[in-house]
């Protein structure tokens, strides 16, 4: 029999925190057990509090920090500030004193997050609840489930809000003179595909697949660093994918 642990879930850097323990209270939530772990049924809002409803996004949190950031624009943090903290977070574990979870809860470990994404024991369904898009995770053995709203994220070095209410797609490609072995959904990619994030592998100079770099480079540049460029497109992408046939296209 698996041990049941109470945890508060931080979905990812600058994403919402999900916590557990006592309905109809902003500080407690009864929680739900999925794959041996007790998860909160609502996101963390301001430090030490839950959102009012399970479909509410709550606030975004940067790694190992206790300051929440708004999940909608305009940008504002839980202390009332409006200037994004673009510095890198320290540490490889979340310090207890910096944990924004309500009393009795904590952010999860990597292993606990992986247990929620484990499709051997948990199903995942992209759905809409009370007008909010998200992923419903259901324990195959008990039927207990948890709704994770598609809160999106804020770009790490600018605070720009993106992907709110949607799900994303990753395109991995090799470059000329820089061959790349495809991940084929292994390791981290098992988790992102379980969360309804599409994954493409494009081989450089292939006659069958390609990336239209010219079209991408003509878009607005939001942020540019030595190794990364963040482009903004004028409208959402249309993603079509058939995993069984191994074909797909991303249009805009």
What are 74-130's pLDDT values in tens digits? 999 999 999 999 998 888 889 999 999 999 999 888 888 888 888 899 998 888 899
Provide the Cα torsion 203, 205, 209, 215; round to 10°.
Answer: 110
pLDDT of res. 191: 53
- In angstroms, the CA 117 to CA 148 distance is 12
* End-of-domain residue from the set 103, 122, 151: 151
Specify the DSSP element, H or E, that contains 10. strand 9-10
More confident residue, 203 or 145: 145
Q: Which range marks the domain in which residue 130 is found?
A: 5-151
β-strand pairing of 238-242 with 169-173: unpaired
Average pLDDT, the chain: 81
pLDDT of res. 208: 81
Residue 34, φ and ψ in degrees, nearest 5: -130, 120
pLDDT of res. 2: 41
Residue 138, φ and ψ in degrees, nearest 5: -125, 130
Length of the chain: 252
pLDDT of res. 12: 34
Tens of pLDDT along 5-48? 444 444 333 344 444 333 457 899 989 999 999 999 999 999 99
pLDDT beyond 70 at 240:
yes
* Burial class of 154 by CB neighbour count within 10 A (0 to 12, 13 to 18, 19+): buried
Q: Are residues 20 and 138 in the same domain?
A: yes
The percent helix, strand, coil of the chain (3-state, each to 5) is 10, 35, 60
Instruction: Give percent above pLDDT 90 in the chain.
Output: 37
Structure tokens at 79: 């202390």
Residue 163 lies in a domain: no
Residues 6+ apart with CB under 8 A from 249: 239, 240
Q: Are residues 54 and 23 in the same domain?
A: yes
Q: Name the one residue in this structure whose structure tokens are 């557990």.
A: 20
Residue 158 lies in a domain: no
pTM of the model: 0.62
By the 8 A CB rule, do 149 and 56 touch? yes
Q: Are residues 116 and 56 in the same domain?
A: yes
- In angstroms, the CA 95 to CA 141 distance is 33
pLDDT of res. 82: 96
pLDDT of res. 122: 93
Q: Are residues 144 and 198 in the same domain?
A: no
* End-of-domain residue from the set 151, 181, 214: 151
Structure tokens at 149: 């709203």
Q: What is the mean predicted confidence (pLDDT) over 142-163?
A: 86
């Amino acid at each position: 029999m698996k041990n049941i642990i109470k945890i508060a879930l931080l979905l990812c850097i600058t994403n919402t925190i999900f916590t557990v323990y006592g309905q109809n209270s902003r500080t407690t939530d009864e929680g739900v057990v999925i794959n041996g772990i007790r998860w909160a049924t609502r996101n963390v809002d301001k430090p030490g509090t839950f959102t009012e409803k399970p479909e509410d996004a709550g606030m975004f949190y940067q790694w190992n920090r206790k300051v929440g950031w708004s999940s909608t624009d305009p940008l504002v943090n839980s202390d009332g500030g409006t200037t994004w903290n673009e510095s890198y977070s320290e540490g490889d574990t979340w310090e207890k004193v910096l944990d924004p979870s309500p009393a009795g809860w904590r952010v999860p470990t990597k292993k606990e997050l992986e247990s929620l994404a484990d499709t051997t024991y948990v199903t995942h369904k992209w759905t809409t609840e009370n007008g909010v898009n998200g992923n419903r995770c259901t324990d195959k053995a008990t039927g207990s489930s948890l709704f994770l709203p598609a809160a999106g994220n804020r770009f790490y070095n600018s605070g720009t809000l993106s992907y709110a209410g949607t799900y994303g797609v990753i395109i991995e490609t090799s470059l000329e003179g820089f061959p790349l072995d495809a991940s084929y959904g292994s390791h981290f990619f098992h988790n992102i595909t379980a969360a309804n994030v599409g994954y493409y592998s494009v081989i450089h100079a292939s006659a069958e697949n390609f990336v239209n770099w010219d079209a991408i480079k003509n878009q607005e540049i939001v942020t540019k660093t030595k190794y990364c460029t963040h482009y903004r497109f004028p409208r959402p992408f249309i993603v079509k994918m058939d995993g069984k046939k191994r074909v797909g296209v991303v249009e805009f």
